[in-house]
């Protein structure tokens, strides 16, 4: 099975680090033209300077800010074709339900649920015109199971799964397939910063495979779902967690 994205335009949000960066790198290696987002203005400038290719452009977008989001949506409206959309941008802030700040609720829902909706609304219009599209929303195991201090995050990811299922029913007749991928524990730079080595080992021991995922484990599934090799998987949530939710 040979997968390539030559001639395809791929949008990946949250593409400057972690899972999103791996997904972007893999699409690039497979020949895609890329539209990428991140939140750090200095990093976006650096990445655009580094990339001399006309096949890759980064946009600075803060999905917690309506004006930043709208500017990006206006840019999307200038594009004639988007073949693949990966909604990967996400944030998490943990707290007990009775201590959650309203601001945190608003920000998490804005990035994790409202932004995918707004982006999907734009790209679906293009995809319907072109009678082709693949959309993959990056959800989470905490959109499948619950954990203390994750009530707001889980609400956003359960919601993203609902958005995935309902939109998949609407768009399938236009040859647009919509799916979600729900990663488990993934070993990224951010994970290493927020968890100690002993905490990582303790969590890994609860996973049947006895390790965290690497970003490539997640990207491999995303790439397949977004490719022409996927012709009939639609409205599904693929859990990539080493068996954690079933343990």
Cβ–Cβ < 8 Å for 235, 169: yes
Q: Are 9 and 79 in contact (CB under 8 A)?
A: yes
H/E stretch holding 152 reads helix 151-171
Query: Contact at 8 Å (CB) between 42 and 18?
Result: no
Asked about 132 being catalytic, the answer comes back as: no
Residue of 58, 59, 132, 153 marked catalytic: 153
Which residues participate in catalysis according to the annotation? 153
């Amino acid at each position: 099975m040979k997968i390539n994205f030559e001639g395809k335009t791929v949008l990946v949000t949250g593409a400057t680090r972690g899972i999103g960066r791996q997904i972007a790198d893999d699409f690039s290696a497979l020949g895609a033209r890329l539209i990428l987002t991140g939140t750090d203005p200095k990093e976006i400038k650096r990445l655009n300077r580094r990339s001399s290719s006309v096949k890759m452009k980064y946009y600075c977008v803060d999905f917690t800010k309506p004006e930043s989001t709208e500017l990006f949506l206006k840019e999307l409206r200038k594009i004639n074709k988007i073949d693949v959309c990966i909604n990967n941008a996400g944030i998490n802030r943990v707290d007990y339900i009775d201590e959650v700040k309203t601001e945190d609720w608003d920000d998490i829902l804005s990035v994790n649920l409202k932004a995918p909706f707004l982006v999907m609304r734009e790209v679906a219009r293009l995809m319907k015109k072109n009678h082709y599209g693949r959309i993959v929303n990056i959800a989470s195991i905490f959109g499948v199971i619950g954990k203390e201090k994750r009530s707001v995050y889980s609400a956003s990811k359960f919601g993203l799964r609902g958005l995935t299922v309902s939109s998949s029913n609407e768009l399938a007749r236009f040859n647009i397939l919509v799916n979600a991928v729900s990663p488990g524990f993934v070993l990224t730079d951010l994970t290493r910063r927020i968890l100690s080595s002993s905490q990582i080992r303790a969590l890994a021991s609860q996973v049947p495979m006895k390790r965290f995922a690497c970003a490539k484990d997640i990207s491999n599934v995303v790439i397949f779902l977004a490719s022409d090799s996927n012709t009939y998987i639609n409205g599904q949530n693929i859990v990539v967690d080493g068996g954690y939710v079933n343990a």
